[in-house]
Structure 1
Amino acid sequence: MSQPILTTTIEPASDVVAGSIGTWTLRFQAGEEGLPGNSTIRVGTDTDTDWGVPQFDDPGAAEYATVTAPGGVDVAARTVGVKGFQLEIGPSGLPGGGEISVVLGDTSGGGPGSRAQTFREQRRVFSVTIDHGQGVESIEESPELRIVGGEPVRLIVVVPSELPVGEPFRVLVKAEDAWGNASDGYRGTVRLNGDGVALENDTLSFTESDGGAGWIDGATGEQPGVVRLTASDEDAGLQGTSNPACVVEHVGEQRLFWADPHGGQLVDREKFAGFFEHARDVAGIQFAGFQRNADVLDEADLVTQQDVELQFHQPGRFIAIPGYEWSGKTWDGGHHNVYFRRHHQPIHRNAPAETPESVDESTELHHVRDLYDHYRGTDTIITPHVGGEHSDLKHHDPTLEPGVEIVSSHGAFEWMRRDALAHGYRLGFLGGSDSYTGRPGDDRPGHQQRRYSKAGLTGIYCEEVSLESFFEAMRARRFFATTGARIVAKADIQGHGIGSQFSTRDNPVIEVDVVGTAALESVELFRDEELLDRWDNAPAGNPNRVRVLWQGSSRQTSYSGIVWDGTIRVHGGRIADTGTLRFDSPRSHLVETTESLVRFHAWGCGYRMGVELDIEGDESTRVEVSVATQAITGPAYGGFGSSQPRRISLAPAERATLVGRLGELAETTRTIDLGVRDRQLDLGLAPVHGDCEAHCTFRDEQPRAGINPYWVRVVQVDQEMAWTSPIWVDWMARSDD
């Protein structure tokens, strides 16, 4: 048996807690024949890892890496993107048995070490390849680590959003760490309680096999109403409250389920099953799609994916939605998700963008128009979105496309919604993950530069948990998007629910029902882009709590976030307490807090985020906010700027200042429009936390002749949001109008 050309190991090889700081040594030992001069060793990985990127110039800083080689062997090192590095051996080569070591997070110069990735992973592979002048060779026994969830900081409780009185249901409890992972090492005992719910068993003791997430069976709603369950572990000081469950006497033809149609993708086919296990058993959703970019799928990947999709076809409990992502460039129509109502369907990919070979070159579809032509008239659904390349909505096929994704881990894209409405398309609004971490249904951005938001979700009204019912509901546009919170949202006009279209001569009366996961701030009714009316029970401002909000994106395309650096100064008063809103990315943090100022650094894209301050002062107390922004872009540096590699870049953008006194802010919120892509800064009073439910009746007294799309936007005080798909009303003016 021939000796391997290179042997690689990592120390320590023990489990790594997600997001922890440490030091790891990778060793590369040449085989008996050694490595010739000018050989290159490359180390990468198969996920969108946010492990700290090595640096070689500052021993006192984080991520300092050192390279050691035998005497007489010169080795150069450089990073490769943000996911790996390579070693370039000098002309003398590496003798047989010679060893090169790389210390990641070397602390000998005073640095703190290296930060591990923030998402858990059963097999975090340090994939090693060697180019020794005879082609590139993969090292089969590449080092691996197991990344586990850290200590829990909260309990997440998931219950069905709608159910009839007396129907048994299961309760999911997740012990969650600071990064959104299930806490693998949690062994506590959780107790449930909640008014209006009968519990056959109110206790769950976690074991190793639970992996930080477990189910309690046998709960039932005792009477109609909205119920919430509370979970607590008093010994560990943990607690959590469930999403609202709406218990009714009789459920209609459809009930609300939760989906992540664009759950994202993974590269290593051995991890595909774990993707769906997470969606079902950790996120507790009913539908999830694995949307692998078609231009990087090979035959073995595709076979594995489709086999796993069938394996997780579990009607009544969970459905893996068969499909893939057609990943054309924006000028070819942009990225689109493709879903099949049948399993093991052949895929038709775009022209290769990242790999040189196609699954089947003869079946490539080079433009989104070709995609439409091929699938028109089949059991297929297609949805546009903003991902690696945003969809160009000047292209649309109403027979195939029922919805558009407007929120994901990339951010919130109100401009995508506006674009769809401006074109007059009948597209509902979807939310999803679109991530590479294997956590569909509840993903977090971690320290990735290309992700700024936690995952969105789609609420979908289906007859049952089945693939057929999912397709029927999608085609009926009976769904709505959220920023990840399981907000219950319904709208109805003359018996027609969200996604419907009908004709009438009567003035539309819109009934809206919302049940939030937190106190509601606003419920707004829109006709197209016109704000028609709003919930009349919106909370008043808290006179002693000031809120600074900011929002917006850099451009109408992918990787379009904004970095906000700001200072809040208080004159003639004292800051007693400070809190943050939607600081989803760990890059977002409070830099400094004193009794007179707060400095913040925040990364976001599209959604509202901010800071709240308890201020001890009077009407004359002056609050001054100043910000400097940077626009996030994702330019390509290959060829003439049109191909890989792509790097996230920051460009200086708007600067602004805003001032208000507490007495003035009690009357109105001060706003400054920064002029581009919804970018704005608000200074006002934080709303009092009040009702979590809103039941509204709106009437359009002046409908327009023709098609009127009515939709609702919900905002909670924690800045979680929901957008209902429109109801399209074809209003026919009376002859005497």
Structure 2
Amino acid sequence: SARPRWKSLTIGVSGGYLSEGDTITVVFGDTSGGSPGMRMQTFVEDGFEFKVLADVCAVGHFTPIPNTPAISIVPGEPVVWRAVLSSLRRPGETFQFGLKAEDKWGNPTERAHGALIFETTLPVNNLPARYDYTRGNRAVTFEGLSVDEPGELRITVRNEASGAVIARSHPMMIRAGRYGGYWADLHGQSGESIGIGTSRAYFDFARDRAFLDATSHQANDFQVNNAFWAFLNDLTAHHHQDGRFVTFPGYEWSGNTAVGGDRNVFFRTEGRAIRRSSHALLPERHDLDSDAPNANLLFEALADEDCVIFAHVGGRYADIEYAHDPKLETAMEIHSAWGTFEWLLTDGFPLGHRSGVVCNSDGHKGRPGASYPGASMFGAYGGLTCFLTEELTRDGIFDCLRKRHHYGTTGTRMFLDVRAGFATSGQLFDRDPKAFDDATSQTVTQAMMGDIVQSDDATLTLRVEVATQSPIERVEIRNGFDTVHTARGYDTGDLGDRIRVVWSGAEYRGRGRETNWKGKAQFRGATIKRIAKINAFNHERLLEQQGSDTVVFDAITTGNFGGFDAWLDTDGSGELTVTTSLGTLALPLADIGLEDSVMEAGGLERKLRAFRLPEENTIFSLTTELEIALHPAGDNPIWVCVTTEDGFQAWSSPIYVYNKDR
């Protein structure tokens, strides 16, 4: 069947015929033979339609039948509470605090209730100390909050009756400065194209259930007719509210990789023309001459538009060597629900590109900002981007994007500050001098993430500050492709009998990149006390302890990583053997330490790793400084990758430092 209804059942009638009034009965999940039934999709949908078509003339042409049945797919019972803050505000600046309960598959559910107590690390204006969360709410937002004094705000939510902690918020820094930090998911789509739900519900979810500060709708261009494009523009205008919720009109330019690959286009204002890659699924043909059938023609067509463009990796990954315009294409999307793709950014380093880092969901399940992968083809939780900007407006975010003052995560919210200090001074450019002949500069001794700086110094001092919801596993400081230092909040003397086993990577860059990791990990000579799963979002995939010394798994990765922690009862002897469909990693337990033990597994950065962690890691904040030697020729892209114990990651946009040669 045709996009987007790939799964279908075809029934042929033979030995007779159908007349008006005759019926065919189809039972999904028939339990009469002992089956437990059929589980429906993992995500909520108000109108799941059983689309029925009939080839009434037996000519191979199927016509939709009117009034076909539809059902509602509703959330399940609550299993986890989420307390959501932003990451950076100035004293007195307003913010919101979001609270919701999610079911097993990540859907906000209206079945949660209880009297809740809020405990805060700083006094919060307008936040009640107690709140009755009633059934029927899928989320609650506390608006108009503020904190007067600088510091680190965290909110703990307790059940009043039991006193148990049910949720802990992300950290939010309150500090005076030029910028606030605002969270966005700018890339996803709804049921009018290839997702589910309506585009109106998409924007409502982003604001009211994912608690985002900004979003955009990105339908595949070859499914966007002119009426839908006008409707989307009306929706962004309707939902946009400076200082509270910023929306951008935009679309996904969906050309094949051979002609440049997927791009996201965002306009500052409504009413701009859509330049499609094709009219593949559009019956209208009168405006074919407005198409831009390759990425270079897209950049040419948008040269005079007030817009920004991202390159991304989905079904048709972007080829940034084939086409890239630094005046328009400001960022690379290196994580989404499709996986993790650092290579999309690093491919640009030898090409002289100076791009920022963004992460978004690219989700199809109607949950922008909280996009779980479910049980089908998506392999990762959707990403988020934090914009460091003076104000939450379209102008503020556009300025931020053009200066690359932002960082991306695999879906968590963390505070991340990356700054470079120069011993003498440097020239900070307002725009990329390689792309803009009229770029101007000012003398500085410090730069932030995303900045482009010319410096005569042989070294710089990098300062990184991180605050997270989950303990920090590592902070990698990189110059281009190379990791020059790994910072942790602990050292060898703090390690315990906790072993982390991690699988990662992909088959290749394009569609069908999923790698299957099937096997077992055996801790011979030791007893497993307990395990904890990492990035195991698909509850139908196997990852469990069997017996006293073995963990079995059947997992997938799509450039991202998964795995488990095992807490052991051991005298220090014994051996770990991890046997997988892609190879075996075997080593004595005594040889597993702070640094990774690695089995390379081919493909696209496929690896199996094992390393040791403290019994309990209590490092939720980390500040480190490092002197970094600069290469005298070409760019030094100085960037940071943070990994937390729960499997989330964050990447800063690089600071691009160069000597004389631009």
- Letter of the aligned partner of 2:532 in structure 1? G
Q: Give the alignment of 1:507-586 within 5 angstroms.
A: 507-535=459-487, 537-540=489-492, 542-586=495-539
Contact 1:618-1:663 within 8 A present in 2 as well: no
Contact 1:386-1:558 within 8 A present in 2 as well: no
Contact 1:155-1:232 within 8 A present in 2 as well: no
Give the Cα separation in 2 of the matches to 1:556 and 1:270.
29
> Relative to total residues, which structure has the larger strand share, 1 or 2?
1
Cα distance change on mapping 1:669 and 1:270 into 2, 3 Å = closer
Deviations 1:282-333 (A, max 9, x none): 0011111110001011233222222111111111111221100111111011
Match of 2:140 among 201, 208, 214: 214
Is 1:470 matched with 2:397? yes
Give the Cα separation in 2 of the matches to 1:169 and 1:346.
34
Partner of 1:126: 50
Is 1:727 matched with 2:655? yes
Structure 1 runs of 4+ with >6 Å offset: none
Is 1:425 matched with 2:356? no
Give the Cα separation in 2 of the matches to 1:238 and 1:668.
34
Give the Cα separation in 1 of the matches to 2:579 and 2:9.
39
Contact 1:264-1:433 within 8 A present in 2 as well: no
- Letter of the aligned partner of 1:132 in structure 2? V
Match of 1:328 among 236, 240, 255: 255
User: Secondary structure of 2:497's match?
Assistant: strand
Deviations 1:449-498 (A, max 9, x none): 2x110101111112222111111111111111110111211211232211
Is 1:500 matched with 2:451? yes
Q: Give the alignment of 1:569-608 within 5 angstroms.
A: 569-590=522-543, 592-608=545-561
Bigger Cα Rg: 1
The alpha-carbon deviation at position 694 of structure 1 amounts to 1.6
Q: Give the alignment of 1:99-110 within 5 angstroms.
A: 99-110=23-34
Deviations 1:349-399 (A, max 9, x none): 112344554572121111111101100132011111001200111110011
Give the Cα separation in 2 of the matches to 1:396 and 1:217.
41
Give the Cα separation in 1 of the matches to 2:222 and 2:497.
55
Contact 1:167-1:221 within 8 A present in 2 as well: yes
- Letter of the aligned partner of 2:69 in structure 1? P
Is 1:490 matched with 2:417? yes
Give the Cα separation in 2 of the matches to 1:397 and 1:446.
35
Give the Cα separation in 2 of the matches to 1:198 and 1:256.
18
The alpha-carbon deviation at position 547 of structure 1 amounts to 1.4
Give the Cα separation in 1 of the matches to 2:190 and 2:632.
43
- Letter of the aligned partner of 1:489 in structure 2? L
Contact 2:495-2:613 within 8 A present in 1 as well: yes
Contact 1:658-1:672 within 8 A present in 2 as well: yes
Match of 2:182 among 251, 257, 266: 257
Q: Which moved more, 1:680-689 or 1:571-580?
A: 680-689
Q: Which moved more, 1:580-589 or 1:126-135?
A: 126-135
Q: Give the alignment of 1:83-94 within 5 angstroms.
A: 84-90=8-14, 92-94=16-18
Match of 1:714 among 608, 627, 642: 642
Give the Cα separation in 2 of the matches to 1:300 and 1:89.
39
Q: Give the alignment of 1:337-736 within 5 angstroms.
A: 337-355=264-282, 357-358=284-285, 360-394=287-321, 395-449=323-377, 451-493=378-420, 494-506=445-457, 507-535=459-487, 537-540=489-492, 542-590=495-543, 592-628=545-581, 655-666=582-593, 669-687=596-614, 688-732=616-660
The alpha-carbon deviation at position 610 of structure 1 amounts to 0.9
Cα distance change on mapping 1:351 and 1:676 into 2, 3 Å = same
User: Secondary structure of 2:417's match?
Assistant: strand
Contact 1:161-1:246 within 8 A present in 2 as well: yes
Contact 2:315-2:510 within 8 A present in 1 as well: no
Partner of 2:239: 312
User: Secondary structure of 1:552's match?
Assistant: strand
Cα distance change on mapping 1:683 and 1:224 into 2, 3 Å = same
- Unmatched 5+ stretches in structure 2: 421-444
Contact 2:156-2:165 within 8 A present in 1 as well: no
Q: Which moved more, 1:669-678 or 1:529-538?
A: 529-538
The alpha-carbon deviation at position 184 of structure 1 amounts to 2.2
Deviations 1:126-160 (A, max 9, x none): 22333312964333422121222111111111112
Q: Which moved more, 1:607-616 or 1:262-271?
A: 262-271
Cα distance change on mapping 1:381 and 1:701 into 2, 3 Å = closer
User: Secondary structure of 2:651's match?
Assistant: strand
Cα distance change on mapping 1:352 and 1:238 into 2, 3 Å = farther
Contact 2:349-2:480 within 8 A present in 1 as well: yes
User: Secondary structure of 2:116's match?
Assistant: strand
Contact 2:251-2:264 within 8 A present in 1 as well: yes
Is 1:142 matched with 2:95? no
Give the Cα separation in 2 of the matches to 1:410 and 1:235.
41
- Letter of the aligned partner of 1:535 in structure 2? A
User: Secondary structure of 1:371's match?
Assistant: helix
Contact 2:248-2:269 within 8 A present in 1 as well: no
Partner of 1:14: none
Deviations 1:558-583 (A, max 9, x none): 33121101211122221111111111
Cα distance change on mapping 1:487 and 1:673 into 2, 3 Å = same
Deviations 1:68-110 (A, max 9, x none): xxxxxxxxxxxx733x323333363212221111000011111
Cα distance change on mapping 1:333 and 1:225 into 2, 3 Å = same
Q: Which moved more, 1:481-490 or 1:123-132?
A: 123-132
Give the Cα separation in 1 of the matches to 2:328 and 2:93.
36
Give the Cα separation in 1 of the matches to 2:198 and 2:190.
10
Cα distance change on mapping 1:115 and 1:549 into 2, 3 Å = same
The alpha-carbon deviation at position 413 of structure 1 amounts to 0.8
* Percent sequence identity over aligned pairs: 29
Deviations 1:204-252 (A, max 9, x none): 3334663x1002246443532212101233559771111101012x2x2
Partner of 2:214: 287
User: Secondary structure of 1:434's match?
Assistant: coil
Give the Cα separation in 2 of the matches to 1:485 and 1:347.
32
Give the Cα separation in 2 of the matches to 1:577 and 1:459.
35
Q: Give the alignment of 1:177-192 within 5 angstroms.
A: 177-192=103-118
Partner of 1:637: none
Partner of 1:53: none
Contact 1:190-1:204 within 8 A present in 2 as well: yes
The alpha-carbon deviation at position 732 of structure 1 amounts to 4.2
Give the Cα separation in 2 of the matches to 1:327 and 1:557.
14
- Letter of the aligned partner of 1:128 in structure 2? V
Q: Give the alignment of 1:225-264 within 5 angstroms.
A: 225-233=151-159, 239-248=166-175, 250=176, 252-264=177-189
- Letter of the aligned partner of 1:253 in structure 2? R
User: Number of matched residues?
Assistant: 627
User: Secondary structure of 2:554's match?
Assistant: strand
Give the Cα separation in 2 of the matches to 1:339 and 1:154.
34
Cα distance change on mapping 1:484 and 1:115 into 2, 3 Å = same
- Letter of the aligned partner of 1:411 in structure 2? G
- What is the RMSD of the two structures over their aligned residues, measured on CA atoms? 2.3
Give the Cα separation in 2 of the matches to 1:143 and 1:198.
49
Contact 1:263-1:441 within 8 A present in 2 as well: no
